[in-house]
Structure 1
Amino acid sequence: MKNNNQVESNQGYNLFFLSIVVICTGLILIGRMTQIGLFKQVNGVNLMDQKIQTDNGSSIAKAKRGTIYDQFGQPIAMDTTSYSMYAVLNADWADGETVKDIDYTASILSKYIDLPRETIWTLLNKKDVNQIEFGSASKNLSAQTKLAIEAENLPGIFFTGQVSRYYFNDYFASHLVGYAENINSSDASNSILEGAMGVEAAYNDVLSGEREKEGSAKTGKDLLGSDIYLTLDSRIQNQTETVLDKTFKKYSPESMGAYLVDLESGKLLTSAQRPSFNLNTREGIDDLWQNLLVETANEPGSTIKILTMAKAKEKGVFQPGETFLSGKVNVYDREVRDHNQYGWGQISFEDGFIRSSNVAMVDLVNRMGDQVWVEELKKFGFGVSTNSRLANENPGSLDFTYPISRIMSGFGQAFSATPIQLMQAYSSIANHGEMMKIQYIDHIAGSQNGYQKQSLGQVVDPQVTPYILDLMVRAVEDPEGTSRPFKSDLVKVAAKTGTAEIGSAEGLGYLTGRNNYFYSVISFFPAEKPKYMLYLFIKRPQNDHGIYGTQMLSEVFHPMLESILINQ
């Protein structure tokens, strides 16, 4: 049996140990509370940003959707909370405060919402109505506006909150980014955002978060969505939007687009088109729903000649300096002419490329064999989807029912392709013959893998591509070159222009008239060691101001080039 001294000694030891534990725990709690009080953060989360206002009947739905960033972490789209305001007029129905002084309330509210005092007064004076709203003027109110109204202490004025999507720039790769909309707007306390276009729709499962997995309890609770980082460069994208908007207003085309790609990685750095729409208000979306990058296919026109020339050189069907007779040539029952109608006489195939001779390309396709040429087009990915994951991707058309079409495809007629298909194919010319997949997702937060460039194969002999790049430089710098508007004092540019006819809506023949063309240019720079690929197009400009489409595109090209070089 232990004596009393031993018991007392053990009790003292236990009390001392317990005191140490209590003191340490207290210090930890004090430290934690100090951290929260000073820095307003817990585990990296800003508590001020997460504060939920519940006073005066306000309620906020929790944000669940991931944020969209550019590749450098600049936010593009994120969840925010907006508010709707209403007034309670019947005390028995509301079992609480009602509007007391209608004159005063109307006067105060008119300072904060876009309604005149008289209209608000009329709404508040409605008889036999328990509760009223104020139309669109009282919806989508910011937190600042809500707090300001609440500070006025107006009895009977209440708010509900709902999650909405906020886009940091109204016009920013709108058709690529897309938008998310509230699909449960009737229940503000349980609002849910769902992607309706672009990345917001294509990656809705990633951004919104998964529901409970199969086999688990169906609690209805959503997991937090993951953030997505696009390959876009906000600095260049914003400046491109400005330049494109100016050109679109000046020339009034049916459509136009500008796409910049980092050649080594295949990253899409800009994606801009007109018509576009306001991401926050959706203004302008009815002008054009299609994402022109992937949804609309056109005949490529003479930009395709860089591939025709590359394959002809690769197969050795002509010798350097070898000549042909330009001007016109018969293809079955059709006469094909050069763009100046009469040609330049006997010239080399190199000069034919620089001057964009259709006759030269017909000759080269015939020498290769039209069936052989079509197989080469297939290797470049034409006629099939690029698997972009974006909605309604158009695979283009590579259906040559008539033999004449196979030959005419050598100068960009009789088949169609989207901008993303063309850029993937053209990337091979500046990548030593290797074709790169064009990608717009840099990475997804939480994923172990970062950006992975994807090679689509060696489609051109690497010994041929320097020859084609040199011809493209000559097309820019030679006095007879068709790409002269794209010559720059800042950097050496390799470029090839295209002017494609547009098929009639009836499906018979092509449209006629000075401006009924699809103008485009593909460019690589610096030409000595290409880093960037820029593809521009403008379709059916209505106000030409006395110039042609490729000259219009130069007004987009040069400001973009300067912006790119400054921001690289």
Structure 2
Amino acid sequence: MKEPVSTLRLHPVAFPPALLLGLVVIRLIYLTFYAPWDPPGVQSLELRLEAQRGRILDRRGAVLAMDAPRYQVVLEYPPIAYGGDPVRRARWLQQVDEILSPLLGLSVQEATRSWPDTWWQFPVTRGIPEDLARVVSQRIEEAGLRGVRVRPYWQRVYPDGPLLGPVVGFVFFGADDLGVEGRRGAAGVEKAYDELLRGKPVILRVPVDAEGRPLPLQEEALAQPEPGGEVVLTIDRTIQAIVAEELARGLQESGAPRGDAVVLRPRTGEILAMVSLPAFDPNSPETLDRDARNPVVQDLYEPGSVFKILTMAAALENGVVQPETRYLDQGCVEFGGAPICNWDRDRYPGGRGWLDMTELLIYSRNVGAAHLARLLGPERFYAALHAFGIGEPTDVDLPYEAVMRVRAYGDPDWREADLGRQSFGQAVSVTPLQMAVAVSAVANDGLIMRPFVVQEIRTAEGVRRTEPRIRRRAISAQTARTLREMLAGVIEREAVKARVPGYRMAGKTGTAQIPTPLGYDPRDTIASFVGFGPVEDPQVLILVKLDRPRRSPWGSEEAAPVFARIAARILPLLGIPPAASGP
């Protein structure tokens, strides 16, 4: 057997080309894995060499996930070799402990107390660096230790830890649908693009002599695993970090235990940031379920008053109202046998009197939204929801997207009261992403784009870019432009905490009650804000959602300031200069 004399250093943050690294690791496996102690009578050994998994990068090339070479020390004690003699096994373990424990910084005998008698292999420690692995290998050879092997393996590393956990996902070791074991992507991009990222492993059959020692093998005969392709995301790591920082501040100040935020380009559907807090750390896959959640894509909630954007869009599109159309706002009305009341009915028990459509949005009138639903009627109202994609997946390139059926006119469980409640965001559930994509139509002259997180795929065959794709037209461009101006009035006249100095923005607050099996929670709410800008040429849309804030239940008080801080920091980064004179 050759002496492992290679002096190449493998740095996890500065890899040599993938193919060269693959060859080096194969060579190290061949030189260190096959120690001269295998069950006698074996004619050959089979070894699966995992391919280097492809990197995941952000849109500017920052590494979000990569494979780094790591090493593990494995003990092997085949019962056939010693006939299951516990005394000889104990003496052997003591010898291993005396030689290796000072190098590894742990007690081998202590570590092996959990070694089941039925296992003939046991990993003592994992994750040791290459320099230490070489020292350990040399000491094993000098001492003539049998049954101790240093094995290299690929470890998935996520430099930013939880920052992108729900988006990127993580990797676990398990079997596929055919029962073939290996490293598999779980959740996020790792799951959605698993086949491309994982590459193609190699199965080596190494001939051995009668005592299990490997016979000479030409190095050039060793096949190389095919490295996985690289995936470049639309995510901007810098923007992701800003959103995470501001969302964390929002949670701390409001007392909300968790929250979500998403930033996308309404013109293209590119997702620039997707944050959920608290988030899981993909560097600790042993602590995670295989379906660790991405709440922006998987968690449904009743959106509340931000949904009034869609109701108003439907009314304008169908011509039942104009911005200047007025209605009599009352504190409460009956709709389908159920009462519908404004959120401030205690302050204005008789309502606010005559309001136009912009004021309906500014003061977020539930009674006004129900009035629009009554003018539209169920057929036109539900046709509008369908046009905005409510009740169907967005087709985002991430796994496990949740969808809830919209209880609509004609369904056996539909009631007329549902129409009134759905007009202001009750009795209908969406994910944060679905809500953001629906509102993006207003920012994009009525067009809904398919949202996506993978911008580019790089393989040995070449580069494939994701092109923006129109899903459908929800409303006309004229309706979208009219509604944008109305939503700008919401920020300018009422939701002042959502103002962004130097930029004219548009948006809507949301304060949603939380349904329970016994009705709506009397205290807790979901506070949200969705907005976009600049109004004249919307380049970015931001949705912020805080679950169960304690300081104040209102979206205008808790979510709106988070929106404003995020927008103020990312708009300049996106090359969008402030206006000469802004709000």
Common fold: TM-score over 0.5:
yes
Kindly indicate whether the alpha-carbon contact (under 8 Å) linking 1:498 and 1:521 is maintained by their aligned counterparts in 2: yes
1:551 aligns with 2:557: yes
Give the C-alpha shift of residue 233 in structure 1.
Answer: 0.8
When structure 1 is superposed on structure 2, of 381-390 and 463-472 the one drifting more is 381-390
1:67 aligns with 2:61: no
1:469 aligns with 2:484: yes
Q: Secondary structure at the match of 1:258?
A: strand
1:384 aligns with 2:392: yes
Give the C-alpha shift of residue 530 in structure 1.
Answer: 0.7
Cα distance change on mapping 1:210 and 1:383 into 2, 3 Å: farther
Cα distance change on mapping 1:48 and 1:368 into 2, 3 Å: closer
Aligned length: 499
Q: Secondary structure at the match of 1:139?
A: strand
Kindly indicate whether the alpha-carbon contact (under 8 Å) linking 1:61 and 1:191 is maintained by their aligned counterparts in 2: no
Kindly indicate whether the alpha-carbon contact (under 8 Å) linking 2:302 and 2:425 is maintained by their aligned counterparts in 1: yes
Q: Secondary structure at the match of 2:127?
A: coil
1:80 aligns with 2:68: yes
Counterpart among 237, 241, 249 of residue 240 in structure 2: 237
Q: Secondary structure at the match of 1:329?
A: strand
Give the C-alpha shift of residue 221 in structure 1.
Answer: 9.0
Give the C-alpha shift of residue 548 in structure 1.
Answer: 3.8
Give the C-alpha shift of residue 467 in structure 1.
Answer: 1.8
Counterpart among 160, 174, 177 of residue 169 in structure 1: 160
Matched with 1:277 is 280
Matched with 1:159 is 150
Matched with 2:467 is 452
Show CA shifts across 1:185-237 (max 9, x none).
Answer: xxxxx98211122221122222224689xxxxxxx996443221121111111
Matched with 1:430 is 443
1:502 aligns with 2:514: yes
Counterpart amino acid of residue 567 in structure 1: L
Counterpart among 85, 88, 101 of residue 106 in structure 1: 101
In angstroms, what is the RMSD of aligned CA positions? Answer: 3.8
Cα distance change on mapping 1:204 and 1:365 into 2, 3 Å: same
Please give the alpha-carbon distance, in whole angstroms, between the structure 1 residues aligned to 2:56 and 2:130.
Answer: 22
Kindly indicate whether the alpha-carbon contact (under 8 Å) linking 1:397 and 1:417 is maintained by their aligned counterparts in 2: no
Please give the alpha-carbon distance, in whole angstroms, between the structure 1 residues aligned to 2:243 and 2:307.
Answer: 25
Give the C-alpha shift of residue 142 in structure 1.
Answer: 3.2
Give the C-alpha shift of residue 62 in structure 1.
Answer: 4.4
Please give the alpha-carbon distance, in whole angstroms, between the structure 2 residues aligned to 1:42 and 1:122.
Answer: 36
Counterpart amino acid of residue 300 in structure 1: P
- Any stretches of 5+ residues in structure 1 without a counterpart? 1-35, 185-189, 213-219
Kindly indicate whether the alpha-carbon contact (under 8 Å) linking 2:397 and 2:452 is maintained by their aligned counterparts in 1: no
When structure 1 is superposed on structure 2, of 532-541 and 316-325 the one drifting more is 316-325
Please give the alpha-carbon distance, in whole angstroms, between the structure 1 residues aligned to 2:433 and 2:394.
Answer: 8
Please give the alpha-carbon distance, in whole angstroms, between the structure 2 residues aligned to 1:43 and 1:497.
Answer: 50
User: Of Structure 1 and Structure 2, which has the larger fraction of its residues in strand?
Assistant: 2
Decide which structure has the larger Cα Rg and report it. Answer: 1
Cα distance change on mapping 1:148 and 1:345 into 2, 3 Å: farther
Give the C-alpha shift of residue 88 in structure 1.
Answer: 7.8
Please give the alpha-carbon distance, in whole angstroms, between the structure 2 residues aligned to 1:384 and 1:417.
Answer: 9
Give the C-alpha shift of residue 299 in structure 1.
Answer: 1.5
Identity %: 24
TM-score when normalising by structure 1: 0.77
Please give the alpha-carbon distance, in whole angstroms, between the structure 1 residues aligned to 2:479 and 2:457.
Answer: 37
Kindly indicate whether the alpha-carbon contact (under 8 Å) linking 1:67 and 1:227 is maintained by their aligned counterparts in 2: yes
Q: Secondary structure at the match of 1:537?
A: strand
Give the C-alpha shift of residue 402 in structure 1.
Answer: 0.8
Give the C-alpha shift of residue 318 in structure 1.
Answer: 2.4
Please give the alpha-carbon distance, in whole angstroms, between the structure 2 residues aligned to 1:486 and 1:210.
Answer: 50
TM-score when normalising by structure 2: 0.76
Give the C-alpha shift of residue 288 in structure 1.
Answer: 9.0
Counterpart amino acid of residue 81 in structure 1: P
Kindly indicate whether the alpha-carbon contact (under 8 Å) linking 1:226 and 1:445 is maintained by their aligned counterparts in 2: yes
Kindly indicate whether the alpha-carbon contact (under 8 Å) linking 1:86 and 1:131 is maintained by their aligned counterparts in 2: no
